[in-house]
Amino acid sequence: MFDVKELKGALIMKKKLGSLLLAFTLLTSLALVGCGSAKKNDATATKEKDMTVGFIYVGPVGDGGYTYSHDMGRKGLEKQLGVKTLYKESVKENVADVEQTCEEMINKGATVIVGTSFGFMDGMAASAKKHPDVKYLHASGYTTSTNMSTYFGRIYQARYLSGIVAGMKTKTNKIGYVAAYSIPEVVRGINAFTLGVQSVNPKAIVKVKWTNTWYDPAKEKEAGKALIAEGVDVITQHQDTAGPLQAAEEAGISAIGYNTDMSAKAPKAYMTAPVWNWTPYYVDQIKAIKAGTWKSESYWKGLESGVVALAPLTKNAPVGAAEAVAKAKADILSGKNKVFVGPIIDQSGAVKVAKGIVMTDKELLSFNWFVKGVEGKIAK
């Protein structure tokens, strides 16, 4: 005979033990899964942290201008995302040298290659075909593929604003512009600057001197001196060094820089500069690559992005310039001022853009003519 109470107690005890065993099993499984996930997350984090991004520079990082601005972006990327970066300075703009540099960086573990000059385009495109798993970001070019993007900023907007400062400052109505190469990027900047000048001073002219170099401090300074000899009392530039500013400083006239705040290079002459801040772009791109959401694109954003800006005006700027710049900037940001909107007249006096018509990006990217008010020729 068996005791019913004892049997019921045994069954209850068995259920409790079974429940405890099930709970223990579930907890153990969750713990193991948790450990597996933690290990997986740790591995992913380590992989992301170990990502290597290679930067190819056209000049030295100490140029105080264009290459320096990109190198600040590289450092900002390292600081914000913890990725490993490497770079090579003063790479020649030919296919062989660029391809070789890409190979060197890939062999060192780079899975993203950043090329910061227009002349790197063909070499990077050739390398991109050989390495479909590597991402390529090319500044100022136009060639794209599934693993190669182009990027730049609408720096012409900031140049327009700097033109307002120059137009208000000049007394001789002669402004000098030291320019690198007669390519659309540079021509577009000269035109935007001139339109900014004319918006406040229609009588002023902009005289252009070509250097055919991105980085040659002595040559750029000499071009500045040549413009000063022609009677300009304000100088600006599309160059990678402060050579033109230093020429202005020595001559006792005013100047506008480029790429970075160059106030320390010419404290008595410098008024402001169109500047670059590449960190936001590089951070966004690497985040997208890590997340697996990156897609090839042609990136070209303006003042609204923070990638381009006008540096703070110094005490050397003319009275009222800050207010005029603030209003023009607000109009650009709101879309009221498109900068390149008709009527726009060229050097010959012909209407190139009819009243109310806004130039397309395609037209801006292939600019090969000067607006009225520019003195200079574009090499054909």
The terminus-to-terminus CA distance of the chain in angstroms comes to 114
Q: What is the mean pLDDT of the chain?
A: 90
The tens digit of pLDDT for each residue in 299-352 reads 999 999 999 999 999 999 999 999 999 999 999 999 999 999 999 999 999 999
- Residue carrying structure tokens 């900047």: 189
The answer to whether 232 and 172 are in contact (CB under 8 A) is: yes
- In the numeric block, which tokens belong to residue 21? 């065993």
The tens digit of pLDDT for each residue in 123-175 reads 999 999 999 999 999 999 999 999 999 999 999 999 999 999 999 999 999 99
Q: Which of 145, 85, 94, 146 is nearest to 117 (CA)?
A: 94
Q: Which class in CATH covers the domain with range 155-273+311-375?
A: alpha beta
Domain ranges of the chain: 51-153+278-305, 155-273+311-375
Q: Which of 104, 102, 168, 107 is nearest to 136 (CA)?
A: 102
- What's the rounded mean pLDDT across residues 11-24? 37
Same fold, 51-153+278-305 and 155-273+311-375: yes
- In the numeric block, which tokens belong to residue 85? 């970066």
**Looking at the predicted structure, is the pLDDT value of residue 13 above 80?**
no
The tens digit of pLDDT for each residue in 218-276 reads 999 999 999 999 999 999 999 999 999 999 999 999 999 999 999 999 999 999 999 99
- Residue carrying structure tokens 């390529």: 136
Sign of CA dihedral 79, 85, 90, 95: negative
Fold of the CATH domain 51-153+278-305: Rossmann fold (3.40.50)
- Range with the lowest mean pLDDT among 21-25, 58-62, 117-121, 349-353? 21-25
- Residue carrying structure tokens 């304000």: 234
- In the numeric block, which tokens belong to residue 91? 């790479």
- What are the two backbone dihedrals, phi and then psi, of residue 151, each rounded to the nearest 5 degrees? -150, 150
How high is the pLDDT of residue 50?
A: 76
